[in-house]
Amino acid sequence: MIRWLIMLVIAGALAYCGATVPLGKRTFFGHVKAIWATEEVQDLKAGVKENAGPTVDRLKRGVEKGIEAAQENPDGGVERPAAPARP
């Protein structure tokens, strides 16, 4: 529990510093936002979306079929024995 609290404090301090401490003209998060908006990164995102698109579509269809199967048969088709009667 103490380790978790220490990690939470460190993460909070890093987030605070990343949002408020200037590193040149911008904060750390400002630099990340500026980099994310560049043409090169937009091209990279478009390329990844184009190449990964078919895989993402297949995964979506598989998840949808799994959800449909679970809704049709919530116990997975497994018959469970009845609980023994209590005396």
Confidence check: pLDDT of 78 > 70: no
How many domains in the chain?
Answer: 1
Q: Looking at the DSSP assignment, which residues form a beta bridge with residue 4?
A: none
**Tens digit of pLDDT for each residue in 52-74?**
888 988 999 999 988 888 888 76
Confidence check: pLDDT of 81 > 70: no
Q: For residue 75, tell me if it sits in a domain.
A: no
Max avg pLDDT among 31-35, 61-65, 82-86:
31-35
Closest to 11 measured CA to CA, from 19, 30, 24: 19
Confidence check: pLDDT of 5 > 90: yes
Give the Å distances, CA to CA, from 39 to 1, 16, 35, 48, 71: 44, 28, 9, 14, 44
The boundaries of the domain holding residue 28 are: 2-70
Q: For residue 8, tell me if it sits in a domain.
A: yes
- Tell me which amino acid residue 78 is: V
Q: For residue 20, tell me if it sits in a domain.
A: yes
Q: For residue 78, tell me if it sits in a domain.
A: no
Q: What is the pLDDT of residue 37?
A: 94
Q: For residue 86, tell me if it sits in a domain.
A: no
**Dist CA 14 CA 25 (whole Å):** 19
